[in-house]
Amino acid sequence: MSFFGRIKEGLKKTRNIIMNRMDDLFSRKNFDEDFFEELEEILIAADVGIETTLDLVEQLREKIQEEKLKEPDEVLEALKSLILDILGREPVPLLLEHKPTVILVLGVNGVGKTTTIGKLAARFTAVGKKVVLAAGDTFRAAAIEQLEIWANRSQSDLIKHQQGADPSAVIFDGVSAAVARGADALLCDTAGRLHNKANLMAELEKVHRVVDKALAGAPHEVLLVLDATTGQNALAQAKVFNEVAPLTGVVLTKLDGTAKGGIVIAVARQLKVPVKFIGVGEGIDDLQPFDPVEYVEGIFAPRD
């Protein structure tokens, strides 16, 4: 499947929920109160979020008046353009500008951190980069094994300690190994759950501090993984993590399994942190760099 085909397929459920009603809505020629109300409902159904939706619809209302838009096509293009104002038009790539580029991967349990690390590692090694993985989720033995499988699959090196070891110590060793081996990237897995939330946040703060001590200026990327199927909950999680370690990007996983794909827009507007990758399936190629224009075309494409 082509690159755009894959993204389009991954956004299918979101597109269907939007376009089911949008076709009908945009066949009207009258942009009246009913039109705006119905549009609000559609966007909220796709989990764009109430705040973001109200803002978008208000701006669209003004644009229709100011630019004297009359045709449904013009109005749809105006809506897409307002969404792109939020998302930014250009993708924000994840560049391996430092040697090694240290990437911390955070997120609550089950969102797809370890899988995302595996897929990113595969993406980097496929273009000849040398990658080291650090098994910083020492809470569960299975977490270390899972990362080991991804290390083998992606031909990356793995730095691990025993279950129960101090995550900061593992990641410190990871940084040292990445430097000593001349790696291009170090991807650090972290736990998504500890005995309680305060523990987890204190631990992540320590990891962040230790990384900077091991290599000045690191981490270069702090990626927060969010599960799109949790919808608006993802926003609350993001705020908490952002306080512990300033985020440089968001990875939104499991878009393939949900009609809540509008959450991308809410995340971009409320966090002011770029969405860098989206997960549209469990396969190794199903993590794709996020391209705002493709996303918008994907959710407003004709229904399948």
Ligand X SMILES: Nc1nc2c(ncn2[C@@H]2O[C@H](COP(=O)(O)OP(=O)(O)OP(=O)(O)O)[C@@H](O)[C@H]2O)c(=O)[nH]1
Residues of this chain that bind ligand X (CB under 6 A)? 107, 109-115, 137, 143, 192, 253-254, 256-257, 279-282, 286
Residues lying near Mg ion in the complex (CB under 5 A)? 113-114, 143
State the minimum distance, in angstroms, from the CB of residue 304 to Mg ion: 33
HEC assignment per residue over 9-68: HHCHHHHHHHHHHHHHHHCCCCCCHHHHHHHHHHHHHCCCCHHHHHHHHHHHHHHHHHCC
State the minimum distance, in angstroms, from the CB of residue 300 to ligand X: 21
Tokens of 41: 């409902």
State the minimum distance, in angstroms, from the CB of residue 146 to ligand X: 6
* Closest C-alpha to 116, from 106, 128, 102: 106
The single residue listed with the structure tokens 């430097």 is: 179
State the minimum distance, in angstroms, from the CB of residue 7 to ligand X: 12
Q: Are 211 and 98 in contact (CB under 8 A)?
A: no
- Which of the choices ligand X, Mg ion, none does residue 291 contact, using the CB cut-off of 5 to 8 A by kind? none
Nearer to Mg ion, 105 or 266 (CB): 105
Tokens of 158: 């793995």
Instruction: Please give the residue whose beta carbon sits closest to ligand X in the complex.
Output: 279
- Which of the choices ligand X, Mg ion, none does residue 235 contact, using the CB cut-off of 5 to 8 A by kind? none
Nearer to Mg ion, 114 or 258 (CB): 114
C-alpha angle 75-77-82 in degrees, rounded to nearest 5: 95
Q: Are 274 and 93 in contact (CB under 8 A)?
A: no
Nearer to ligand X, 203 or 256 (CB): 256
Nearer to ligand X, 112 or 262 (CB): 112
- Which of the choices ligand X, Mg ion, none does residue 257 contact, using the CB cut-off of 5 to 8 A by kind? ligand X
- Which of the choices ligand X, Mg ion, none does residue 230 contact, using the CB cut-off of 5 to 8 A by kind? none
- Which of the choices ligand X, Mg ion, none does residue 110 contact, using the CB cut-off of 5 to 8 A by kind? ligand X
Q: Report the distance separating Cα 182 and Cα 290, nearest Å.
A: 28
Q: Report the distance separating Cα 134 and Cα 150, nearest Å.
A: 12
State the minimum distance, in angstroms, from the CB of residue 220 to ligand X: 21
State the minimum distance, in angstroms, from the CB of residue 3 to Mg ion: 27
Instruction: Please give the residue whose beta carbon sits closest to Mg ion in the complex.
Output: 114
Partners of 249 in beta bridges: 223
Nearer to ligand X, 88 or 110 (CB): 110
State the minimum distance, in angstroms, from the CB of residue 32 to ligand X: 39
Residues whose CB falls within 8 Å of the CB of residue 87, separated by 6 or more in sequence, listed in order: 264, 265, 268, 275, 292, 295, 296
Indicate the length of the chain as a whole number: 304
Nearer to ligand X, 212 or 282 (CB): 282
Q: Are 241 and 247 in contact (CB under 8 A)?
A: yes
Nearer to ligand X, 88 or 257 (CB): 257
Q: Report the distance separating Cα 265 and Cα 271, nearest Å.
A: 10
Nearer to ligand X, 35 or 256 (CB): 256
- Which of the choices Mg ion, ligand X, none does residue 253 contact, using the CB cut-off of 5 to 8 A by kind? ligand X
State the minimum distance, in angstroms, from the CB of residue 137 to Mg ion: 5
